Structure 1
Amino acid sequence: MAIPNEKLQQLLQEISAKAQFAEQQLGIVRTQMATKNRESRMLQLSTTEMNALPKDTPVYDGVGKMFVMTSIDDVKTRQAKEGEDIKKELSNLEKKLHYLDTTYKNSQEHMEQILKRGG
């Protein structure tokens, strides 16, 4: 039994829209991952630099539009927490990327199958 042309067109449009949305979201997620990787690298570099400083070196931390003198240990603790947060966010983004990639590939496969059957 063949699917009527109107239903076939509607189905193809829905699958195509889903594929386009997944493709757009893939680009967004990849950009977010690149940003998080950059942030992680900057944290690693600043931690490396702070480890090379003597213990009594004054360190300033940015708070809004001003800088406040803090201890190196406080800055390292804050940076370690930020690093953990970034790792969690990257993990979530990787899961989202995998889901969107699967959705996109499945949509493409479904469109090909429909076109083969209908054509």
Structure 2
Amino acid sequence: MAIPNEKLQQLLQEISAKAAFAEQQLGIVRAQMASKTRESRVLQLSNTELEALPRETPVYDGVGRMFVATTIPEIKTKQTKEVEGCAKELVNLGKKLHYLETTYKNSTEHIEQILKRGG
């Protein structure tokens, strides 16, 4: 059973649009993952530097446009929570990346199948 040309063309356009959208989203998700990885690395490096400081060293935490005096343990606790948040976001972005890669792969395979059958 042959599919009419109009339907075939419409189906091809829909799948092509889905593939293009998935490809665009893949770029965005990869950039977000790189950003979160950098952020996590900066937090880890900062934490390493804090470890080297004497315990009584005055430290400041940025709050909006000002800095507030705080303790090293408070900063470490805050940074640990931020690193955990980054790790969770990286896991979620990894899942999204896998989904988009699968969608893109399936779309391109469907396009190839349509072109082989229709051509």
- Measured against the shorter chain, the TM-score band is over 0.9
1:110 aligns with 2:107: no
- The one-letter amino acid of 1:11's match is L
Q: Give how far 1:64 is off.
A: 0.5
Which position in structure 1 is the counterpart of 2:64? Answer: 64
Q: What does residue range 1-119 of structure 1 map to in structure 2 within 5 Å?
A: 1-119=1-119
Query: What SS does the corresponding residue of 2:95 show, helix, strand or coil?
Result: helix
Aligned-pair identity in percent equals 77
Query: What SS does the corresponding residue of 1:13 show, helix, strand or coil?
Result: helix
Deviations 1:50-106 (A, max 9, x none): 000000000000000000000000000000000000000000000000000000000
Question: What TM-score do the two structures reach when normalised by structure 1?
Answer: 0.99
- The one-letter amino acid of 2:66's match is M
Query: What SS does the corresponding residue of 1:77 show, helix, strand or coil?
Result: helix
Q: Give how far 1:5 is off.
A: 0.2
Q: How many residues align?
A: 119
Q: Which runs of 5+ in 2 are unaligned?
A: none
Q: Give how far 1:24 is off.
A: 0.3
- Distance in 1 (CA, whole Å) between partners of 2:63 and 2:115 is 58
- The one-letter amino acid of 1:84's match is E
- Distance in 2 (CA, whole Å) between partners of 1:2 and 1:64 is 64
Question: What TM-score do the two structures reach when normalised by structure 2?
Answer: 0.99
Query: What SS does the corresponding residue of 2:19 show, helix, strand or coil?
Result: helix
Runs (4+) of structure 1 moved beyond 3 Å?
none
- The one-letter amino acid of 2:76's match is K
Query: What SS does the corresponding residue of 1:56 show, helix, strand or coil?
Result: coil
